[in-house]
Structure 1
Amino acid sequence: MKRLLLCILLLAGMHAAQAQYYKTDTTSSERKGFDPSRLMIGGTLGLTFGSYTNINVSPDLGYRFSEMFAAGATINFQYASEKWEYTNGTVKNSYNVYGGGLWGRFYPFEMLFLHAQPELNYVSVKITDNTVDPKSTVKESHTVPSLLLGGGYSQPLGEGGGSSFYIMVLYDVIQETWSPYQNRPVFRMGFNIGL
């Protein structure tokens, strides 16, 4: 049952994704003004359960301005908790992240892109230590800036360029103390289904 649930969650996470590829045709490239076919709707869905639990829901909305440039906005929500077992009790850390930011992509080649995403997140942390008597609970909150930089690859699926598979690697170059991205690369992958 756990494997079935894991497979379903993995497929859902891969489905909820960011639009990555837009191929203009002669009719849409001649249009003036707003073109709804250039909208990019998607986001990130991440789920991890166990002694370390992480739930990440980050929808985004963007627009493909040209074959070389796309930009948009994203909203972040993350919950995470981690538990350590000791002979005299447990220590549990949990945090919530709320925030958002803007993102931009530059496509120097048809299927390769560079990605920049400045964000401002509110991080709320709770540390509960049951190894001491009486139990200790510490709560803190911080406003944390991040700047995710990186790149990725987008592979169109089928004709027309509306659907694609993508994979990208990002890194928070600011590395503020309470950054939700810590000192590690951020991997994102999934599918975009064209409307």
Structure 2
Amino acid sequence: MKAKILTILNLCLCLLMIQQVHSQTDEVGYYKAPLSNDTSRYRARNSDFLYHVSTGGNFGLQVGSYTYIECSPHAAYHFNKWVSVGLNFSYSYLRYNLQSNHIVGGGTFAEFYFLKYLALHAEYLLLNYDNIYAINPKDPRRIYSHNLLLGGGYYQKINESYAVYFLALYPISNRPQQPFLSFPVFKVGFTFWPKYL
């Protein structure tokens, strides 16, 4: 319990330090109102579907006696600057002590942005993996794990097209007899808006 509390306190401290450093060097370009009264170009840009779509994902790699490889792309639609919803796909490969496991899955997520850099994140993730708990030969070889993840994170926009993010999520619905996801789940990745490239 103490380790969890210390981990959360360290993450909060890191986020505050990152915010302090960024507030000293904020060079993000902001939208400026058009000089003329003709706003048709701005309205057309705001109504264009692709201006509201972002893609990205995260990649994980650990090699050694315990091998872990993960690739998780996602796509999101931003209704406005405060709310987005999206779909994600996940593939992971694990290898430990001559046993390996391929984990595939996908899900949906919603994000709510506030305070310019922070976000609340809710995600439903369905995973399919080898049943390492099987004792009886009649047990299924692969099983499904339904996971509801809740948490928050920090988003840093690099420019109009790119952003990086850090999320800490807690799986609140994983079955205790099959604990697949660690507590908490950390995600570090990138997002980009293809229409702005």
User: If the length of structure 1 is used for normalisation, what is the TM-score?
Assistant: 0.67
Pair 1:76-2:57 in alignment: no
Q: Quick one: distance in 1 between partners of 2:170 and 2:48?
A: 32
- The residue aligned with 2:52 is 38
Partner of 2:180: 180
Partner residue of 1:107?
113
Question: SS of 1:150's equivalent?
Answer: strand
Residue identity matched to 2:127: N
**How far apart in 2 are the matches of 1:157 and 1:33?**
24
Q: Tell me the CA shift for residue 109 of structure 1.
A: 2.2
| Corresponding residue of 2:189 | 190
Measured after TM superposition, the shift of residue 114 of structure 1 is 0.3
How far off its partner does 1:143 sit?
1.0
**Separation in 1, partners of 2:51, 2:145:** 35
Contact 2:55 2:192 in 1 (8 A): no
**SS in structure 2 at match of 1:36:** helix
The answer to whether the aligner puts 1:154 opposite 2:149 as a matched pair is no
Give the structure with the higher percent strand: 1
Residue number in structure 2 paired with 1:121? 127
Q: Distance in 2 between matches of 1:24 and 1:142?
A: 49
Note closer, same or farther for the CA distance 1:25–1:148 as it changes in structure 2 (3 Å cut): farther
Please, which runs of 5 or more residues in structure 1 have no aligned partner? Answer: 1-22, 84-91, 128-137
Distance of 2:50 and 2:31 partners within structure 1: 12
Deviation of 1:30 (Å): 3.1
Work out which structure has the larger RCO, using CA pairs closer than 8 Å and 6 or more positions apart in sequence: 1
Distance 1:170 1:29 in 2: 36
Q: Name the structure with the higher helix share.
A: 2
Q: Name the CA distance, whole Å, in 2 between partners of 1:192 and 1:147.
A: 22
How many percent identity over aligned positions?
29
How many residues in Structure 1 have an aligned counterpart in Structure 2? 152
Question: Structure 2 vs 1, CA of residues 105 and 140 (structure 1 numbering), >3 Å: closer, same or farther?
Answer: same
CA distance in structure 1 between the partners assigned to 2:101 and 2:32 by the alignment: 46
Separation in structure 2 between the aligned mates of residue 116 and residue 24 of structure 1, nearest angstrom = 29
The one of 66, 69, 89 equivalent to 1:52 is 66
Q: Which amino acid aligns with 2:145?
A: V
1:63 aligns with one of 77, 91, 111: 77
Q: Is the 8 A contact 2:167 2:187 kept in 1?
A: yes
Q: Provide the TM-score with structure 2 as the length reference.
A: 0.67
